[in-house]
Amino acid sequence: MIQNIDTYLVDVPTIRPHRLSVATMNTQTLVLVKVTCDDGILGWGEATTIGGLNYGEESPESIKTNIDTYIAPLLLGMEASAVAKAMAKIRKTIQGNRFAKCALETALLDAQARRLNVPLSELLGGRVRDALPVAWTLASGDTTKDIAEAEQMLELRRHRIFKLKIGLRDVAADVAHVLAIKRALGDKASVRVDVNQAWTEGEAVRGIAALEAGGIDLIEQPVKATNVAALARLKQRFDVAIMADEALHGPDDAMALARADAADVYAVKITQSGGLLPALEVATVARLAGIELYGGTMLEGGIGTAATAHVCSTFPTLAWDTELFGPLLLTQEVLREPLVYKDFMLQVPTGPGLGVEIDTDKLHAMRRK
């Protein structure tokens, strides 16, 4: 039986300013959810977002309030092992709130996998890979700093895929910044860009043409999420891969984008999808439509990152790898043992459930009072 549900906000400084077209982050607020069951088993989930309300319609504070006030009371007293029934009740009763739903589904699945003494990936069909290549985002905005940071990551054998956040400056300045980094790194690394919806279609045509000619591998969400027609026209016009991110809020969007032939790649995010199982449905739509996959992040801490790793480990193909570097951007850790990154890969945890353990002393010291 589900006995109690607690939600925590944890403010963690980042290792450096992280500049996106929608926000500049100096601190990340983790939203952590604990489900306590009457058999003594605990399950953890995460509903972290980016930049308050700059990125999406759910903020850390609204996620906590909505879970505590509206969603948790629906679940208390329900059978903890009946995860599908619990989530069906939430999805029928609660509109929207994808991030909150994801955290609760993650926590319930974590608890059930611990109950069965198996990794969470086994409840999702089973893993086909034990490690995931991980991209690093260069988001200082300073070309020299970004090149030095990339070179350091290559030397440490931590990352050889780099995504550049652009869209704050004019197109010509952004293109010059990106291509300078690509020239410096050469064939040692894959260089990609994320525009976070900042360009008009006309700006995107100019920008993508120059980036494609300069050897950039992937263009993420160049135009507004709602402008699916423009995204489709860009996909048809250019050879470089076009990836949908903010346009993708679960299986229904995945189907609509596939019908519109609007993307070459889907960024699969468990929170944007509304849960781990809906994220698997996004991946299934992509596979059937011939669309390739990328494991996305909301810059989560260890819990959300582990959950996404379990999901991505089950994908038959993962052509564009992942960006599950969230914990590496944070100055503090709430896990007893951090996730393992080595040889350019994140090692998917192998223990029961998520395979990670919360350091409760650290959590209570760090949480927002």
Rounded distance, CA 62 to CA 84, Å?
24
**Token pair for 110:** 């974590």
- Name every residue whose Cβ is closer than 8 Å to that of residue 293 and which is 6 or more positions away in sequence: 265, 266, 268, 283, 286, 287, 312, 315, 317, 318, 319, 320
Tell me if residue 235 is catalytic: no
Tell me if residue 323 is catalytic: yes
Strands in 168-282 per DSSP E: 190-194, 218-220, 241-244, 265-268
- Name every residue whose Cβ is closer than 8 Å to that of residue 361 and which is 6 or more positions away in sequence: none
Rounded distance, CA 350 to CA 119, Å?
6
Residue 190: strand pairing partners: 161
The DSSP-derived string for 91-105 is HHH--S-HHHHHHHH
User: Which amino acid belongs to residue 276?
Assistant: L
Q: Phi and psi for 6 in degrees, rounded to 5?
A: -120, 140
Rounded distance, CA 265 to CA 100, Å?
25
Q: Phi and psi for 332 in degrees, rounded to 5?
A: -135, 155
Given 105, 149, 300, 323, which residue is catalytic? 323
Rounded distance, CA 30 to CA 200, Å?
32
Given 34, 163, 165, 235, which residue is catalytic? 165
Q: Phi and psi for 188 in degrees, rounded to 5?
A: -70, -20
Query: Per-residue b/e over 194-208, b at no fewer than 16 CB within 10 Å?
Result: bbbbbbeeebbbebb
Strands in 135-258 per DSSP E: 136-138, 161-165, 190-194, 218-220, 241-244
Closest to 141 measured CA to CA, from 170, 165, 161: 165
**So which residues are the catalytic ones?**
165, 323
